[in-house]
Amino acid sequence: MISLNYRDARPIYEQIKDELRRLVVTGALREGEKLPSVRSMASALAINPNTIQKAYGELEAEGYLTSLPGKGSFASVPETDVGKERREHLFLRLGEIAEELRYLGEDEQAVVSRIKQTYTAAGGRGLRRGFREKRSGPEKKQDPAKSNEDPS
């Protein structure tokens, strides 16, 4: 699912964050889908569980992940307010990159085409939260509908 690059300047937990975020936004991981447990992914990548824990924790702060103690971690869509900060950050970076590309000689057409390519390639993926239907994923931080079992 994830491969690490020890030559990469980014720390390991950043690589994991970026890769997991990429899997979510590209649709490879759908909302509500269960991710490997902290310990199992640590074992699979042959690294320390604390490193995975850090990546999961920060990704949860971004809203791309929801963790439920005792149950697991699940891919999720950032709440509108959390996603707002993220979107503002992304728009800022977008402007900086466009500015530099322009300086390097790329015309508007070339840059816009690259944007349109992304939206064309993506099918019906990535609709707003308000437009999506309910699904199997955990609602907020609460326990998803459980059966009539009595724990004790």
- For residue 74, give the 3-state DSSP assignment: strand
Closest by Cα among 120, 121, 42, 26 to 75: 26
* Rounded distance between C-alpha atoms, residue 97 and residue 91, angstroms: 10
Among 35, 63, 75, 77, binds DNA (CB under 7 A): 35
Q: Which does 40 bind (CB under 5 to 8 A by kind): a second copy, DNA, none?
A: DNA
Q: Is 27 in the site for DNA (CB under 7 A)?
A: no
Q: Is 83 in the site for a second copy (CB under 8 A)?
A: yes
Among 3, 69, 124, 128, binds a second copy (CB under 8 A): 128
Q: Is 134 in the site for a second copy (CB under 8 A)?
A: no
Q: Which does 69 bind (CB under 5 to 8 A by kind): DNA, a second copy, none?
A: DNA
Q: Is 136 in the site for DNA (CB under 7 A)?
A: no
State the minimum distance, in angstroms, from the CB of residue 39 to a second copy.
27
The residue among 98 and 137 lying less far from DNA, judged by its C-beta, is 137
Closest by Cα among 6, 4, 32, 31 to 18: 4
Q: Which of the residues 17 through 36 are near a second copy (CB under 8 A)?
A: 21-22, 24-26
**How does 16-38 read in b/e, with b if 16+ C-beta sit within 10 Å?**
bbeebbebbeeeebebbeebbeb
The residues that bridge with 72 in the sheet, in sequence order, are: 68
